[in-house]
Each structure stands twice: as structure tokens, then as C-alpha cells.
Structure 1
Amino acid sequence: MGHFLLVDSQKLDGFEGLHRAVHGSHVDVMQLGRGRLRGSLSHIGIGDFSLSIGSFSVGMRTQRVSSDDKLIVGMLLAAEQRVTHWSFDMQLNDVLVIPPLLEHDGVFHGASAYAAMRFDLDEVASLFGGEARLSDPDTWRSRGHFQADGATGAAASRRLVRIMSHLRPHRQGLTPSTADFWRRSIVECMAANVMSSLPPDDTGWLPSARRLIHRVEDFLDEAGTRPVHVSEICAGLGVSRRTLHRAFQEVFGLGPVTFLRHKRLCTIHSILRDSMPGSTTVASVAMQQGFYEPGRFSQYYFAMFGEHPSRTLGGPPSRDPEGGAATA
């Protein structure tokens, strides 16, 4: 697992720029629509894992050669006209699976935008751990098309774009463990759409909720203060997201994602409280703990602790002898 790295971000002024539509993979492209192509292309790399997001203003034909040994999982973010991949008609937020060493043929009949992850097939066991079907490499060895749920798909698409946008300025500012958290967050956006198209899997054994929660808390204790993604817990403990969600709802009355967010907020509170003003910033601590939207983070923080994070970093208010807050 390498350090976080922003590979590239550029404006496009011709179809030739789309030869690198997916970082690390060569794509043969041909312009179909009339007019001068305009667009953008951004890549983020985390070790051998990459996320590419691109947009273009005219119709395109794309073909990936069969020599690429990586798995590509893509999502259609926007489309003015019909989009087809192989024989699949793609709708907004649908997910496409391009297995390793398989040629790919896509046709965009008009202006479109896409996101694509590229990584080793061996990584799916970790990235999708706990989901029996998704963590099995055989699931990804055949080309596939997963239709997105309307609400889930739209939310995942927006989050994916926001993650790309907010990570750009932090290419040198993330530790390897935090970079891994963001890699899992990116994968989760795609996985949410895939899982919403699969039938429920209720055949597994549901362990005692409290026993499972204790195992999760032991896992979190071993991780220390670094952010932990829910997919990492599922992989480490060998449980599905559905099983984990049911256990957290039974014990805490909230889901594991909310629980983990509260835990990360508590970690940030402790770091800020113990830091001297000027020695760090709220934004850097928040980013290291997996928060990338300052406004939303501030809302979460205030709702949790009743004060803004800048106040915590500046130090607690003075107290009167009776234990109450001193007044000005």
C-alpha cells in the first residue's frame, strides 16, 4: 500500500486525451460526434489502485485492449444520449465490470461523464470482505452490468465526485493508513450500487449482536486513532455489511457507519483538545480522520459536542469554582 498520490488533473481539448481515460490502461478512442471536444480528466492513485473521473462534450467510441491485467469497475455519472458497453445499455449511475485481460467496447452517443476504478483482482477479498459474492474473485472474472437503485445510485455518484474534488489539495498530506481509508471510501461508492442490485443474502449465520460488537471494538482498539472504514471491519472479521448493520442497530440503535463517524469525531475532539493553537489546523486533523467537507464536518462536530472545532482547539472556557462555565 503506497502513499496517497494525485496523479493528474487536466482539461481536454481533443479526443486524444482520452487515451488515458483510465489511469494505467490504454484505451483506443474515436470521436463520433461533431464539434470540438471539451472535457476534463482527473486521476487519483493510491498504490496500484486508481480512480479516474472524466467528462467530454461529444460522442465517443472507446476500446480497451485485452492486454490490461487489472480489473476495472466503472460508473456512468452523466449522459445526454444513449450509452452502451458491449450489449449493455447503461443508465445513470449503473456500474460496469471489465475483467482483467478482456477487450472492452463502449459507445457514448453524446456528452457524458464517467468514473472508473482500476485495481488488482487479488484486492477484492480485502476491499469487499464480508460480502460473500463480492469478495470472491470469480464474481469479477466475467463482464457484468449492475443497475443502480435510483436514490442509492445518485448519492453514490455525488459522493464519488466530491471525494475526488476534496482530495486534490491533499496529495502530500495523508498518511498511508488514511489513504487506505479513502481508497475504501471510493470503493464503497461503487459497491453500494452493486449491492443494491443483488438479492438479499440472509442465509448466513447471525452471531450474537453483543459478541460481534465486542469483536468490532477489539478491532478498533488495535487500529488506534487511525480512521477505519466499515469495509475493513467486514474483511477483518469476515461478516457482511447486513450482519454488521443488524448488530449495531440492536445494540446501539444506529448503524455502523454512524457509529464509526461518532468515533472519529471523538478522536478529533481529543486531538484538538490536546493540541496547542498554531501547532495544527482543524482542516488537517479532520482530513486525516476521513472528513473531506468542512461545512458538513463542522455540523457533525457541533451537533456532537455543542461547540465548534476551532473552539476546542483554542482551549476550553474557564470554569468558576462551582464547576460552571465562567461568564464574560
Structure 2
Amino acid sequence: MGQFLLVDSRQLDSFEGLHQAVHGSHVDVMQLGRGRLRGTLSHIGIGDFSLSIGTFNVGMRTQRISSDDKLIIGMLLAAEERVAHWSFDMQLNDVLVIPPLVEHDGVFHGASAYAAMRLELNDVTSLFGGEARLSDPDTWRSRGHFRADPASGAIASRRLVRIMSHLHSKDGLTPSTADFWKRSIVECMAANIISSLPPDDGGWLPSARRVIHKVEDHLAETGTRPVHISEICDALGVSRRTLHRAFREVFGIGPVTFLRHKRLCVTHSILRESAPGTTTVASVAMQQGFFELGRFAHYYQAMFGEYPSQTLGVAPRQLAGLPH
């Protein structure tokens, strides 16, 4: 069954626009600050999963009486003044958990920005695969607050905003890459949550080469679509820490770098075999999970010694010059 894809963005000119602050969920909103509200509200929907990002320039009181069984995980992206949810005072990039069927109460004392993803509770098992606590649905049945690490939290927050921005491009969100982008969004939230959890250095460590062989078998089954690290953790039933140790031991690089190299190789092959005018570098890059085109071009040139635009259509042009 295919996944329903939604991309929507609009400008706000009143607090009523924030009633749909989280896609698929009604929120009661009261304006606290003086002045005409200005802001934006953007949604990305992939099946039953959604990401919403909102910005507004005045203080707000938000209340939500849950009418469904969806889990909401939010992140504070920006705030000029105090922000409180229930009894939690939020700092920048902190993560908030709103469990299914639990009423929510929040106060933004000034201009703010937030991100919120809404998903099925049972989806955490695969989306947070490999992280024992986070992949357990029971972890998310009570409201919670995770304090973000200042440095890594800021990186995760910026990445989340950039993903949203790039997925609004016409080439950004396709059915074949939808799962990768969903996992990339979850990863930004997970990065800030994991920094609050105690280290997990215990447990049985399987053979590094056995782990690598299983990873490569999984990658072979997926074909040319991009694969996210959380998908591998879920499929193999291993933690990110185990994957990292295995890849470091075998290749001397981490799994994220390895997966990026694989996606670069797939991109190179697609560009080389495509005829100019039938595709663009940007569309192929997005299909392979690269959303920052400047950084992608840098990675590509460093790896292959040429820019992607130079690779595009090389093979068809060479074949065209061969005698028949």
C-alpha cells in the first residue's frame, strides 16, 4: 500500500491559523501578546506520520484535548521569552512528549517557533529501532521532557528546519524516498532525546564482521533507494552504538559515513547513465537523501574528483560516439 504524501505551507495573519498547529490535531489557541499575529505554518505528511513547523511573533496559550491515539513529539526551535508546557520550563531544542489521549497545556510568553511530529505509537518500534528504551511504546505513554545538549541540539534543530524547507521543493518528497525522509525527521528529535539518556555501554557485542555482513545483505535487498541508519537498526535488532563500533572496527569510518558513501556511489551511477535533459542533479540528489545541495556537491567532488554536473550523461554521450 502506498503512502499518502502531503506538503503544505501558508502564512498566518491571526491566532486562528494555529488551530491546526499540529497536522491532524485541533488545538485551542488564545493570543496573550499584543499586536497582530504574523507567522508561518508548514506541514509534511507521510502516511499517518506528519511534521509541523510553526512560527509566530506574539505570546500564545495553547490547549489540546486529544481526540485520537496519536503520539506527538515536539521540539522548541526558538523563543524570545519563557516557554512552559505543563510544569516543564523549556529551553531551546528541548523535546516534549505528548502521549496519546493526554490533554496538553502550553504557554509561549513571546515570539516562538516549534516543530511537532505526530505518529502512531507502535511506529516507535521501527523508527527508533536499536534504542531499547526509545523503541518501546511504553516509554511514550506518559508525558515527558528531554533536555537537549546545547551543541548537538542546535545542530539537530537546524537540520530539521532545513529538511522541512527542502521537502517543500517539487523534487523533495517522492514515494520511493518517503521512508528515508521520515526517518531523517525522527533522527533530529532522537538526537536531542538520546543526549538526555544515560550511556548504554553494556550488553553483548556481536562480531563486527557478522554485523557488517548483515548490513550489506539488507542494503542489497533494498536496491537503489536510500536507507537510513534507524532502518538498519530496526531490521537487524542492534543499537546505534553496536553499529558504530562494528563499522569503526571493519572500515575505520562510522555507519553514517558509510551509508553516505554508498548513496554517493548510487548517485554517480544514476547520473552517469542518464541522458542530459531527462533529469537534474538536484532531483537525483534528493532521491538519494541529499537535501543540502552545496554540501552534497562538496562530498561528491571530494569523492569522485568531479562535480555531479560533469558526470551527468557521460556514458550516453560516450556510447553515442561509438561506431554502429
TM-score when normalising by structure 2: 0.95
Mean Cα deviation higher: 13-22 or 62-71: 62-71
Query: What whole-Å deviation, never above 9, does each CA across 1:273-308 have from its counterpart, x for those lacking one?
Result: 111222211111111000111111111100010001
1:37 aligned partner: 37
Does the alignment pair 1:168 with 2:176? Answer: no
Matches within 5 A, 1:219-230: 219-230=218-229
Task: Report the alpha carbon displacement of residue 18 of structure 1 after superposing the two structures with TM.
Answer: 0.5
Task: Report the alpha carbon displacement of residue 3 of structure 1 after superposing the two structures with TM.
Answer: 3.7
Does the alignment pair 1:18 with 2:18? Answer: yes
| 1:15–1:29 Cα contact (<8 Å) kept | yes
1:7 and 1:310, CA in 2 relative to 1: closer, same or farther beyond 3 A? closer
2:298 aligned partner: 299
Task: Report the alpha carbon displacement of residue 4 of structure 1 after superposing the two structures with TM.
Answer: 5.8
Task: Report the alpha carbon displacement of residue 67 of structure 1 after superposing the two structures with TM.
Answer: 1.9
Query: What whole-Å deviation, never above 9, does each CA across 1:166-186 have from its counterpart, x for those lacking one?
Result: 110237x64423011000000
Mean Cα deviation higher: 127-136 or 1-10: 1-10
Residues of 1 paired with 2:132 and 2:170: CA distance?
34
- Aligned residue type for 1:31: Q
Residues of 2 paired with 1:188 and 1:66: CA distance?
25
2:253 aligned partner: 254
| 2:5–2:175 Cα contact (<8 Å) kept | no
- Aligned residue type for 1:273: R
Does the alignment pair 1:205 with 2:204? Answer: yes
Matches within 5 A, 1:34-183: 34-170=34-170, 174-183=173-182
Task: Report the alpha carbon displacement of residue 73 of structure 1 after superposing the two structures with TM.
Answer: 0.2
Task: Report the alpha carbon displacement of residue 9 of structure 1 after superposing the two structures with TM.
Answer: 0.6
Residues of 2 paired with 1:135 and 1:186: CA distance?
16
| 1:68–1:102 Cα contact (<8 Å) kept | no
- Aligned residue type for 2:257: T
Residues of 2 paired with 1:7 and 1:303: CA distance?
33
Residues of 1 paired with 2:178 and 2:229: CA distance?
15
- Aligned residue type for 1:27: V
1:218 aligned partner: 217
Aligned length: 318
Mean Cα deviation higher: 54-63 or 3-12: 3-12
- Aligned residue type for 2:290: F
2:308 aligned partner: 309
1:324 aligned partner: none
Task: Report the alpha carbon displacement of residue 201 of structure 1 after superposing the two structures with TM.
Answer: 1.0
Task: Report the alpha carbon displacement of residue 2 of structure 1 after superposing the two structures with TM.
Answer: 4.2
Residues of 2 paired with 1:26 and 1:182: CA distance?
25
Structure 1: 5+ residue stretches without partners: 320-328
| 1:3–1:175 Cα contact (<8 Å) kept | no
Mean Cα deviation higher: 39-48 or 66-75: 66-75
2:322 aligned partner: none
| 2:233–2:240 Cα contact (<8 Å) kept | yes
Task: Report the alpha carbon displacement of residue 314 of structure 1 after superposing the two structures with TM.
Answer: 3.5
Task: Report the alpha carbon displacement of residue 55 of structure 1 after superposing the two structures with TM.
Answer: 0.5
1:61 and 1:49, CA in 2 relative to 1: closer, same or farther beyond 3 A? same
Greater than 3 Å deviation, 4+ residue runs: 1-4
Does the alignment pair 1:238 with 2:199? Answer: no
| 2:167–2:173 Cα contact (<8 Å) kept | no
Structure 2: 5+ residue stretches without partners: 319-324
Residues of 2 paired with 1:97 and 1:178: CA distance?
27
1:2 and 1:149, CA in 2 relative to 1: closer, same or farther beyond 3 A? farther
Residues of 2 paired with 1:170 and 1:187: CA distance?
22
Residues of 2 paired with 1:24 and 1:174: CA distance?
19
RMSD: 1.6
Query: What whole-Å deviation, never above 9, does each CA across 1:93-137 have from its counterpart, x for those lacking one?
Result: 000000000000000000000000001001010101111000000
2:321 aligned partner: none
| 1:4–1:174 Cα contact (<8 Å) kept | no
Residues of 1 paired with 2:68 and 2:34: CA distance?
30
Counting aligned pairs with the same residue, the percent is 82
Task: Report the alpha carbon displacement of residue 72 of structure 1 after superposing the two structures with TM.
Answer: 0.2
Task: Report the alpha carbon displacement of residue 151 of structure 1 after superposing the two structures with TM.
Answer: 1.1
| 1:42–1:53 Cα contact (<8 Å) kept | yes
| 1:32–1:58 Cα contact (<8 Å) kept | yes
2:190 aligned partner: 191
Residues of 2 paired with 1:14 and 1:236: CA distance?
45
Q: Name the SS for the 2:41 alignment partner.
A: strand
Residues of 2 paired with 1:175 and 1:43: CA distance?
15
